[in-house]
Structure formats: structure tokens, C-alpha cells
Amino acid sequence: MALMGNGSLDAATVLGIASKLQEMLTDREHIVSVPVTPYAYQAKNLHLTPPRDAVQENTLAEFSELVNRVPTHPIWQPSTTVHLWDIYGEVLGAELATSSLSAAEQQKYQTAVNYLYAPTSDGSGTAPSPALREYQSARQTWLQASIDYKQAQQTANMSSDPAVKDHWYEVDEPRLRQARDDALAAWTGTGHKSTVEDALRIVTELGAKMPSAVWRRHREAFNPKLPDQFSTAPNGTRFAPTFYAPGEVLDVAWPRVEMSRDMLVALASQASPALTAALGGAIDDDIHSVAFDYCPVSIARPWFDPVMDLFGSRAWRFPAGTQSLSDGADRPQGRCTTYVDTVALVRNIEIVRLSGSEVSSGEAFLEGDPEHAYASIDLDTGDRDAGVPDMGWDSLSAGVPQLRSLNDASLYLMNSSTGFEGLGAARLYRESEPPHHPFGEGYLRAAEGYSLVGTLMAFRTTEGNVAKVQVLESGAYGKIRWATYYVSRDTEISDEEDIYIAAFTCQRLPKSPDPDPALQW
């Protein structure tokens, strides 16, 4: 067992993890962006809630800068010079429609705001109310339960093992569906789902008719055009503090994803061209499986909450000639078409690789006697008609050659474009591993008028090794070449302190700006 050093991951592993996270986290409202090199942190430094030491404060600054970059898709390659707080500053300075709320509507709006937000203890602004925090926490639990269900369902659907599918339908599906239903019930009850969402709707709808009050509230909370409102880390980085929620996730168990090689190959084949161009489209031949723990966490911006309070409003516009933020299309175009609202944290990455060492190889003639006794060979040692033979050869009475597995050795017919030389120990092992099944009844017979010459086979030998065999001559006798390998599983694991940001889940913006012509300007 080896330990991955310096938090580094090879391209094939990143491709597998990135493809799986994109599959799990992409939906109608979100686009997933993945970094070619995941961002690695030490767990002790990623504890961002106060009190923080100097290293944690620098980590908070780095994290805040990172998740407020304007995303790119599907590969994470955003500019480091433009951030969400820059876009926010532009919107705060936009032209606003004239307020048109009645006194009753103003009271309704203020009641909703007071329900959602409360003054901070130092009086510097507002923060989510207890009800909104409970809503956000319950929503996070429901989101995790939904992802767990979807991930397990996809794993079962991609498996060729009937036992895996049966376990999904009989055990995992009802259990995970119940967990998802329970999370929704908790979100609906103690998470105040309907009440909070009604208040959010009121704030958005009525705020559009009273933009000056909405914009004033945001400017009072944080105005990015005023440099003194930013924080400065010990390393000199200037940033608007941004956190992940819930903050205690590093100290609890996370769900685990296990991906067989078949699943990795399938995911790689479905990956976007941009992703495969950046990482390569192939899974290394020696990779047998990849597993990791994951946890999606919400991004909390105390200085910009809720984001859609401004971006979702139709009561503002830019000066003529200013490029829009988003055109709101399915494949949106603009200067800021999405923003990061969730990141996928990954830890405890485990990569199982197969390595083979040759134990026997060579060429041999195999000739059956007139009574059709099989000429045999022990592929573990190369001994003919000795040891514990794995395969035998017979020409039969009509001269039709037949090759057979012996002593419970398993025979598998191979189809390899790379030929005998290119057929490695790792593939031989996988092709002869359950739930794969032996070829036919354990024998291979040439049809009348045809030859077995060139045929490639894999064997699981009586000693548990894997062998490749190719027929070189076929007739009354057979000539074969073979190579037998002992295959070991080598496991690489990430340091238990390493936490990776492996994906950014980004909320789509509506058309922005999208000024309502019915308002007074």
C-alpha cells in the first residue's frame, strides 16, 4: 500500500472522479465545472469558522478568492482578476426603476425581510435568521440524500452483475428513497421550507417594485466599491470572506463512491470533449478501481445573500453599450453566466492498480495420441504432461483440433487489436475475473475446414495466475506460445488529512439584466 504524495493525482484518476461528479451534480439549474488539477488543502487548515490562526486565515482568503471567480465550463479555468464581488459592484451601481410599492406592500416586504435576516451582533449589517439557517441546513441534508440516491442508482444501472442490480432494487433503492423522503419531510417541517420560500418569493417579487430599498440594504451590508469593506489576510490578500456550510462537515462521515474499471471506462467515454482534451480520454490500463468519499457543501456569502435578490430582479439595467452578464440561454453567453453555489469536497481517495510479474513463458508443441488422450501443459511452470496441467490439445478422430481447459482452469476467448504482445497482465486479470464467464464449456474446437491459428485466449490457471495463449499451428498437433503472470493489487491512498475541491457546482443566472418595460424608468 502506497501513499499519494503532495496531494497529487494522475490525469486518469482526475478524469474518473470529475466525470462521476459531473454526472451526479449536473441538473437543469446547475452546470458543473471541474479543475484539471483539484485544489488540495490540509483538513486542519480548512476549518474556517472562528477562531482562526494565521494559516487558517490565509486559507479563508484563498478559498474566498477561488469560489468567487467567474466560472468557466466544463473545465475550471477562470480569470483570477474578475470576481463575483466585481460583478456585484457593477450591479449595485446600475440604473434602477422607480419604486412603485404601496404602503401595504412595503409592510409585507419588510416583514419578509425581517423573517429572513437579522442584524449582526456588531451592528455592521445583517445575517441569515435562525429560520433561514435551519432552512439552509435542511436543504443541504435533502440535497445530499438526493445525490446519494442518484449515485447508487447510476452505479446499479451501469453494472453488468445481476447481484448488484438485485441488491439495488431489494435493499439500497427502498433504503435511500426513504432517506430522501425523510430529508424532504424534515426540510418541510423543522426546515420551514414553505414559509422561507414564500418569504424569499415576496422579497424577490416586491423588491422588484422597490429596487432602491433593496439596493440600499445590499450596499449597507457590503459595498465592493469601498476598499475598506474588504478583509485582508496575513499574507496581504484582500477578500470578501466566503465560507462553506455546514461548517462541521470535515468532522463527520461522508458517503463513498466506488468505481470499477468498467464504470471508469464508461464515464470516460461519456465525458465532454473539453474534459477529455484536457485530461486524455483513456483510463490507464493498470487502473482496476477508484474510490473516494465526497461531500457537496453550500457556499455562504454573508456579504451577498441572497444572490438572486439582485441578479433575479428586473428593476435594473446597465448603461447602453455595456455587455450583459448572461443571455439566459441553455448554453448561456455573457460575462458572468453562472456563479459558484456549491463545491464538491473529496477525501480518502483509493486507487487500486494491477501489476503483473512473469512466472512462465515460451512455445510448445502439443500432440494428442491416437486414442485422443489430451497432450497437456502446466501454464504455471511450462511443464508438459507434468505438474497440474491447465490446458490440453487433441486433434480428434477427424483431425479437427480441439483445445480444452483442465483441472478447473478457466478458459476465456480474447479479442485484442494489440495482438499477443500487447495483451497485458492487467487486462488478462480483468477479463478472467467474475462476473465474466469461461468461454463455452471450457473447450475451443475448430469448425470443419477452419483453423485455430491466431486464436488468443486467457486462462485462470490452477495456481490462480493469469496466462495468455496464442495458437501458432493447428492440426494433428498444436503449437502454442504462452506467458503466465502473477498479478498483484497495489493500493494507493491519499493522506487522510488531504481535502480536495474536485468540482464547482454553478448556479445559472437568468437573463441579466432583463429590465421590465412595464416599470417606470
Q: Encode pLDDT of 59-100 as tens digits.
A: 999 999 999 999 999 999 999 999 999 999 999 999 999 988
> pLDDT value at position 400?
72
ω into residue 389 within 30 of 0, thus cis? no
The reported pLDDT for the residue numbered 284 is 87
pTM recorded for the entire structure: 0.80
* pLDDT band per the 50, 70, 90 thresholds, residue 449: low
Say which residue, 32 or 162, is predicted with more confidence.
32
Q: Which residues contact 317 (CB under 8 A, 6 or more apart)?
A: 94, 95, 513, 515, 521
The pLDDT value given to residue 405: 87
- Which segments within 21-148 are labelled E, that is strand? 30-33, 39-42, 95-96, 117-119, 126-128
Mean pLDDT score, 456-463: 91
CA torsion, ordered 277, 279, 281, 282, to nearest 10 deg:
150
Query: CA nearest 284: which of 421, 426, 416, 492?
Result: 426
* Statement: residue 497 has pLDDT above 80: yes
Residue type, 444: L
What does the buried/exposed string (b/e) look like for 428-460 if buried means 16 or more CB atoms within 10 Å of the residue's CB? bbbbbbeeeebbeeebbbbeeeeebeebbbbbb
- The amino acid sitting at 70 is V
Q: How confident is the model at residue 19 (pLDDT cuts 50, 70, 90)?
A: very high
Q: Would the pLDDT of 330 be above 90? A: no
Ordered DSSP codes for 196-231 = HHHHHHHHHHHHTT-HHHHHHHHHHH--TTSGGGSE
- Kindly report, residue by residue over 371-388, the tens digit of the pLDDT: 555 788 999 999 987 789
Q: What is the per-residue pLDDT across 126-139, written as a single tens digit (0 to 9) for each?
A: 788 999 989 988 99
Question: Which H or E run includes 57?
Answer: helix 54-67
Cα(316)–Cα(309) distance, integer angstroms: 12
Rounded mean pLDDT of 313-337? 94
Question: What pLDDT was estimated at residue 7?
Answer: 61
pLDDT above 70: percentage of residues in the chain: 93
Query: What is the structure's pLDDT at 208?
Result: 77
| 496 and 348 Cβ atoms separated by less than 8 Å | yes
Q: Which pLDDT band holds residue 403 (cuts at 50, 70, 90)?
A: confident
